Structure formats: structure tokens, C-alpha cells
């Protein structure tokens, strides 16, 4: 039997410690992901989507590379690489299912038509599902606009107040109110047109999630 010299023994011990630590890290991440999945099961659809998107990223960026390394280094093949790869695949399937299920139904009063369309387009650009008919599991975005303009013609400063509510199963999960001021010396429609342009600019600079008062990852 060949005896290991001091250097060989040190290298073997260090490698063993490294592999043990690596597998421990993988198991800790797996347990963390499982706990977060369980915690979000009964939360609103948007939160489930956001959490599962984050967990998928963690599994791919933090677990996957370590699983591959551990699989290569574990010489006695006691490390079940397939078990962990199957787990990562399961997280991906969970997210895809949530992504397909999540949808937004946006509507408002007659004064809010332009704002409704802008929000629809902004959510669609985020690759989120926007539906034209309310579904059982829809995230509802409801808009209402009031203004200080009496007739079709306005003079001076037109003040528009846009109220947004975001609901999931009748429970409010977000929303904001905005006051849009526009100089107006003509048709009421021109004040609304300018306000919608500035509203779109706000979405582009702040992000649709901030405008709706929700988190959209």
C-alpha cells in the first residue's frame, strides 16, 4: 500500500473539505429555495411570479455551477448530480407555469382611455400577459380620471387627477394617484393628449412597476 506524503495528504484533505463545503452550500441553497416556495404558495399571483422568477435565477446562477463542479470533483460519485439538476428543472417549470398563468386586465372610465392603452403597452413590453377580458386569476388595474375642465374648450392650466388601483381577487395590492398639469388654450382633448405623453415618459423613466405601485420583476 502506497503511503501518502505530507503534501499529498494535505491536498487530499483540502479537496475533501472543499467538496464537503460545496455540497453543503448546494444543500443550503436548495433548502432556502424550498422554504421560499412554500411561503409564497398562498400569496397573490404577482408575488408568486416575482418570487419564483428570483428563485429560478438563484438556482441557475448559484446552484447550477456548483452542482457541475461537485459532480466533476466527487471521485467516488457519492454526489447525485441528477437529483440536483432535476430540482433546478422543477424550479424552472414552476416559474413557467406561473408566468403563463399571470395576466393583467386593465380598464378605466372614458377619460382614462389613453392612460389604459399606455399601461397595456408598457406591461406587454415587459413580456407580461395583458388580456381584454377579465379572468378568474387576473390582476386588475383600474383607472379613474377627474379634471377641472368644464367643457370641450379649456383655458389656462388643466389639472387631471389619475387614480390607479391594482387588485388581486378583490384585494388591493398596489396603486397610486397622479396629478398631471398641462397648459391648455384650446380643445380639452389636446390637454389629455399632452398629459398622456407625459404619463408615458414617466413610465419610461420610472418603470411600470413604480407607476402602478407594485413590484414587477
d(CA 146, CA 186) in angstroms, rounded, equals 18
Residue-wise pLDDT tens digits, 56-84: 999 999 999 999 988 887 655 678 899 99
pLDDT band for position 156 (cuts 50, 70, 90): confident
Q: Is residue 1 part of a domain?
A: no
* Distance between CA atoms of residues 28 and 191, nearest Å: 57
Contact 166, 196 (CB under 8 A): no
Range of the domain at 187: 103-212
The count of structural domains within the chain is 2
Same domain, 159 and 89: no
Tell whether 87 and 140 lie within a shared domain: no
C-alpha closest to that of 164 among 154, 156, 173: 173
Kindly state whether residues 86 and 53 are assigned to the same domain.
yes
Q: Which three cell numbers stand for residue 98?
A: 406561473
User: Of the residues 101, 136, 168, which one is the last residue of a structural domain?
Assistant: 101
Residues 78 and 173 in one domain: no
Q: What is the pTM of this model?
A: 0.81
- Asked whether residue 180 carries a pLDDT value surpassing 70, the answer given is yes
Last residue of some domain: 75, 101, 127? 101
What is the Cα–Cα distance from 212 to 215, expressed in whole angstroms? 8
pLDDT higher than 80, residue 211:
yes
- Rounded Cα distance, 131 and 138, in Å: 8
Amino acid at each position: 500500500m502506497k503511503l501518502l506524503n505530507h503534501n499529498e495528504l494535505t491536498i487530499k484533505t483540502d479537496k475533501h473539505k472543499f467538496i464537503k463545503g460545496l455540497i453543503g452550500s448546494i444543500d443550503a441553497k436548495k433548502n432556502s429555495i424550498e422554504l421560499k416556495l412554500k411561503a409564497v404558495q398562498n400569496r397573490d399571483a404577482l408575488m408568486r411570479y416575482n418570487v419564483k422568477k428570483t428563485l429560478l435565477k438563484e438556482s441557475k446562477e448559484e446552484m447550477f455551477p456548483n452542482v457541475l463542479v461537485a459532480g466533476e470533483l466527487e471521485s467516488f460519485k457519492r454526489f447525485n448530480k441528477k437529483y440536483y439538476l432535476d430540482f433546478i428543472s422543477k424550479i424552472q417549470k414552476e416559474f413557467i407555469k406561473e408566468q403563463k398563468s399571470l395576466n393583467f386586465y386593465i380598464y378605466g372610465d372614458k377619460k382614462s382611455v389613453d392612460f389604459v392603452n399606455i399601461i397595456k403597452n408598457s406591461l406587454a413590453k415587459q413580456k407580461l400577459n395583458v388580456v381584454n377580458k377579465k379572468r378568474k386569476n387576473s390582476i386588475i388595474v383600474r383607472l379613474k380620471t377627474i379634471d377641472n375642465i368644464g367643457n370641450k374648450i379649456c383655458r389656462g392650466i388643466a389639472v387631471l387627477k389619475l387614480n390607479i388601483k391594482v387588485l388581486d381577487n378583490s384585494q388591493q395590492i398596489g396603486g397610486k394617484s397622479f396629478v398631471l398639469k398641462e397648459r391648455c388654450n384650446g380643445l380639452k382633448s389636446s390637454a389629455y393628449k399632452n398629459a398622456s405623453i407625459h404619463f408615458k415618459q414617466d413610465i419610461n423613466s420610472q418603470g411600470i412597476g413604480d407607476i402602478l405601485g407594485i413590484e414587477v420583476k
